[in-house]
Amino acid sequence: MDDADPLAGFRARFVGTESPLVYLDGNSLGRPLAATAERLRRFVEEEWAVRLIRGWDERWFDLPLALGDDLARVCLGAAPGQVAVGDSTTVLLYKLMRAAVTARPGRTEIVIDRDQFPTDRYVAMGIADECGMTLRWVDVDPTTGLTPDQVAEVVGERTALVVLNHVSYRSAWLADTAAITRAAHDVGALVLLDMCHSAGVVPSELDAWGVDLAAGCTYKYLNGGPGSPAFCYVAARHLETFTQPIQGWMGNTDPFRMGPDYVPVEGIRRFLSGTPAVVGMLAIQDMVGLVEEAGLHAVRRKSEQLTAHAVDLADKHLAVYDVEVASPRDPELRGGHITLSHPRMQEVVATLWERDVIPDYRDPGGLRVGLSPLSTSYDELERGILAVGEVLGALA
């Protein structure tokens, strides 16, 4: 399978892939690119050290928007001027949720499912308390996820915002974003899409789907490194009317004038607040370039094949230990990972880590196999699944 893989050559561009370590957690933290080490060195020695404060005028000030446009073009299906990079995912989710509910005065409900990623739920809870709103919880099957029919049943004239994960963090369920967006828009509500588990591995069409707002991290399939800044998308039709709650100097008109009043600048820059993390954006540039070179649709094809092979291997080698596949079996209905369920998976993952086999664990009893198509080989995947079986056999 590796010999027949048209993307196999990209694996050598990642640091560490030549080692025997098995890394099956690319949906939590992607491997670093070798090119990034050189980019960081050049930045420190040639740009930061030589240009110093002049760097802001020459490149850094516009980097959050320039990188946002690249990310929009390569991965998000969005026209220029709608994506900015900066802040953490949590901060951006707060900004976007707060902007959305402010833009729908008189509406009192936020719709969100109970299996949504924890940060999304916690931020929504805080905003509901802050604004005197109600959360309309949707119960979903944790092996699948939120469906358009479920959304249509709960939205109404009180709904201000629907928050959904593009890919479920637990099951990898791939939401029908276009249909859910239509259901929300039919009642005048807005939609916020969390793309943390899809950006860089699942092609998206934010503009075509009609999504209002989106946010996602860059350290998973975009390989930006631990804590690399997240991105936000605000549809062009909202940019002149939506306001975000964290008013900082970078989002102000004429920020270097240091004037007495805050007047939000035109365009997506108004969703920036403080000084952007320039160093944190460097690795993202490398990975966006690599995804563009490989082609996101080719990345998606390999992702589907990798996850399908993982399911086949689990059926062949792990079902005997009563391991269940807790993800959709149809590759078109899941993102870039699968979850394998067993009551003792927490012990299994701890033992695997000691053996340099690195998946991750999510309650209840879920071992996640995260497959980053440009850095993960079929051989690596097979060695990992066989190791899971060896550990389960020893525990039996």
Please identify every residue annotated as catalytic: 117, 194, 219-220, 368
How far is Cα of residue 296 from the mean position of the Cα atoms in its chain? 15
- The type of residue at 43 is F
Say if CB 31 and CB 223 are below 8 A apart. yes
Contacts of residue 22, defined as CB under 8 A and 6 or more positions apart, other chains included, come to: 356, 357, 358, 380, 383, 384, 387
347 burial (CB, 10 Å; 0-12 / 13-18 / 19+) is middle
- The one-letter code for the residue type at 288 is V
Q: How far apart are CA 348 and CA 367, in angstroms?
A: 8
> Which ranges constitute the DSSP H helices of 78-201?
89-102, 118-131, 148-154, 177-186
Q: How many Å from the N-terminal Cα to the C-terminal Cα in the chain? A: 32
Q: At what angle do helices 345-354 and 378-395 cross, to 10 degrees?
A: 120
Give the DSSP H/E element, type plus range, for residue 137.
Answer: strand 134-138
**Ramachandran region, residue 223 (left: φ > 0; alpha: ψ -120 to 50; beta: rest):** left
Give the C-alpha distances (Å, rounded to integers) separating 7 from 39, 156, 310, 322.
23, 46, 18, 34
Task: Tell me how far apart the alpha carbons of residues 253 and 273 are, in angstroms, rounded to a whole number.
Answer: 12
384 dihedral zone (left: phi>0; alpha: psi -120 to 50; beta): alpha
Burial class (CB in 10 A: 0-12, 13-18, 19+), 118: exposed
Which pair of structure tokens corresponds to residue 395? Answer: 């525990």
CB 168 within 8 A of CB 184: no
Q: How far is CA 290 from CA 69, 73, 220, 228, 284, in A?
A: 15, 13, 14, 17, 10
